[in-house]
Amino acid sequence: MLREIVLDTETTGTDAKGGDRLIEIGCVELVNHIQTGASFHRYCNPTRPVSQGAFAVHGLSDAFLADKPLFADIVEDLLAFCGDAPLVIHNAPFDVGFLNAEFARLGAAAPPPIELEAVVDTLQLARRKHPGAANNLDALCARYGIDTTRRTKHGALLDAQILAEVYVELLGGKQTTLGLTAVVSSATSALALAEAAGRQGPRPFRNRITAKERAAHAAFCATLGGVPIWRDYLAEADPS
């Protein structure tokens, strides 16, 4: 079973390093690329004003956010919902930058920062599949015929739900039911992606192993004792 979390945020502005803060987080659960109906949604009091530019995008005012909990008060619920599932984000450096900045403000209670190489960035997927075309969320919805009439302003949960639909299209097509239909659709999608890759030429390998995973593997190897036999083959392959 493949569990993924599609995530989106809204913020006070665009500069996480300059002090802008998260004000809304929306997450949608996918299992085998199908929305399960499980979701996470919270507003946060940023303890600083929302910029006029950001307000024009999402419509979340200082007055509306004044009585909302701090990020520190909702982070445990967020982490519990996400678990160890991979995150799916559109333009991941933006949202990950804000999440890691919020984590850093927690001090000793901070969880480990999110590593970008462990995130599925749908913007990068779209750029590979549609090079030279507009690949923002609105453009992708128009390309794939995804209904956005319910979306008058940007909202984290609604955008996460829409992004989940876009993500499935980027993988090759809609999967709406569990069971054999989903398996057949998944296999068809994989074949379509493989054929597309063959037409476009080989793509560079993307290392999805994180530094934490490499350290855990090294720690496990240290418990085996002696010299594992596969290191002989590694030595032959790389005499240096």
Q: Could you tell me if 180 and 29 are in contact, meaning their C-beta atoms sit under 8 angstroms apart? A: no
Stretch (H or E) spanning 5: strand 3-11
Q: At what angle do helices 137-144 and 156-171 cross, to 10 degrees?
A: 50
Q: Could you tell me if 116 and 92 are in contact, meaning their C-beta atoms sit under 8 angstroms apart? A: yes
Q: Could you tell me if 40 and 77 are in contact, meaning their C-beta atoms sit under 8 angstroms apart? A: yes
Q: Could you tell me if 65 and 43 are in contact, meaning their C-beta atoms sit under 8 angstroms apart? A: yes
The residue among 30, 155, 55, 42 whose CA lies nearest residue 102 is 42
- Give yes or no: 33 in active site: no
Catalytic (active-site) positions: 154
